[in-house]
Amino acid sequence: MKHASHPSIIVRLKRAQGHLAKVLSMFDDGRPCVDLAQQLHAVESAIANAKRELIHDHIEHCLDDSGEGHGQHDAIKELKLITKYL
């Protein structure tokens, strides 16, 4: 299922991919560890932000729209499942 947030998540992941490619080239160039750590932090941050946006979107659109009764029970189960990725 495609959500409205998916294009912005893809942009974030492509940004992380660019940062990661930069880190790999920095290793080949023998750049200082502080510079490498800074770029690795940027990769982590970009991926974490993408994951957070995906999870928030899922909670807002998929779980919130589940309705009452049996659907609500399934939504709670799914919420518990997805929170392990926070």
pLDDT at residue 65, as a whole number: 61
Q: What is the pLDDT of residue 13?
A: 95
pLDDT of residue 70: 52
E strands present in the chain: none
pLDDT digits (tens, 9 = 90+) for 38-62: 999 999 999 999 999 988 888 877 6
Per domain, the residue ranges of the chain are 6-85
Task: Report CA Rg, the chain.
Answer: 18
pLDDT above 80: residue 3: no
SS3 9: helix
Q: Which residues of 2-32 are buried (b: 16+ CB within 10 A; e: fewer)?
A: eeebeeebeebbebbeebbebbeebeeeeee
Q: Is the distance from CB of 39 to CB of 22 less than 8 angstroms?
A: yes
Whole-model pTM? 0.74
Superfamily per CATH, domain 6-85? Metal-sensitive repressor, helix protomer (1.20.58.1000)
